[in-house]
Amino acid sequence: MVAPMDLRRRETGDFQASARLVDLGTVLVSRATCPAYEAVRTPQLIRQCDPELYQLSLNLRGRSGVSQGRQDTCLGRLDMMLFDTSRPFHGRVVPEETFAEGVLVAFPRALLPVPECQVRQLIATPLPGDEGIGALLAGLLTDLTRRTDDYTAADATRLSAVLLDLIAAMLHQRLGTPTPPRIGRDALLVQIHRHIDRNLGDPTLSPATIADAFHISTRYLQKLFQSQGLTVAGWIRQRRLHGARRELVDPLRSHLPIHAIAARWGFPSPSQFSRAFRAAHDLSPAAYRRQAESWQK
């Protein structure tokens, strides 16, 4: 799932860049840090290879821009832009001080649940990533590319669907067209997941506090989570146990006593944490840590 481009240096000297890739199957997400460059997709390159992709760029640092068709757009921090790899374009990246940083999402045009005639109106136009659904999408992309090794095949399938739905919801919001109900529910669920992850250390986090934060009923909240195969409380417990398990096996956290790790992840009672952990992993937290330490030696 690659659209070949002609890359051109804007400065002499070494070209030092780094990138992290998250392959979600139908959606490819990359986060790159790089010096100034230009990228050109010419008619000749399109004839040679046309994977029929949309690409969404999120600018994190520095400035970037794309000229496509009659549009010429410059992006600042947290701005986004959608462009079409089946049409020629000229992209440019201008670093802030030494480097620029951004996220690029590539996916087949056919998978975006928005009519092409509507998408065309927003090609190469600025899409704000600091407000509305754009802020939710930008936050998810930032989080997604920060932890590149946490996703199973099932995670990848769900995440790719959520990303496409959020992109569609953002475009509908910009166009002023109705967002299909399913997309609206999925976008809300992503917001709730992020809220839970940010507040896992709070022992008072509960279905009631989450419902209050989003101004919905606990009954509707539980209905949203039916597709997850867990209750809201079960989801919170799973996420807390996941975070605690990672810290138990992290050599950099080996100095932390188990009760401190438990408290950091919202388990105020060590015995409650031990029971929940044993139920999930068939080992006590202490035994799990010892086992991990023996494997690391």
Mean pLDDT of 212-231: 87
Two tokens at 16?
A: 């030092």
Structure confidence at residue 189 (pLDDT)? 84
- The Cα 276–Cα 16 span in angstroms is 46
Confidence of residue 28 (pLDDT cuts 50, 70, 90): very high
The candidate with the shortest Cα–Cα distance to 64, out of 54, 53, 79, is 79
Structure confidence at residue 47 (pLDDT)? 87
pLDDT at position 231 over 90: yes
Lowest-confidence range among 33-42, 89-98, 112-121, 254-263?
89-98
Confidence of residue 7 (pLDDT cuts 50, 70, 90): confident
pTM: 0.68
Average pLDDT, the chain: 87
Two tokens at 208?
A: 């009631």
- The Cα 275–Cα 61 span in angstroms is 45
Cβ proximity of 292 and 248 under 8 Å = yes
Mean pLDDT of 154-178: 87
Structure confidence at residue 237 (pLDDT)? 94
- The Cα 124–Cα 296 span in angstroms is 49
pLDDT at position 190 over 60: yes
Most confident stretch, 91-105, 129-143, 222-236, 274-288: 274-288
b/e for 244-277, b at 16 or more Cβ within 10 A? bbebbeeeeeeeeebbebbbbbbbeebeebbebb
pLDDT at position 1 over 70: no
- Reported as a single tens digit per residue, the pLDDT across 45-73 is 898 888 889 999 999 988 888 888 888 88
Helix axis angle, 232-248 to 270-281, nearest 10°: 90
Lowest-confidence range among 41-55, 171-185, 201-215, 246-260?
171-185
CATH number of 6-147: 2.60.120.10
Structure confidence at residue 297 (pLDDT)? 63
Mean pLDDT of 252-271: 93
Mean pLDDT of 210-238: 89
Looking at the chain, the whole-number percentage of residues with pLDDT higher than 70 is 94
pLDDT at position 74 over 90: no
Higher pLDDT, 185 or 102: 102
Structure confidence at residue 136 (pLDDT)? 87
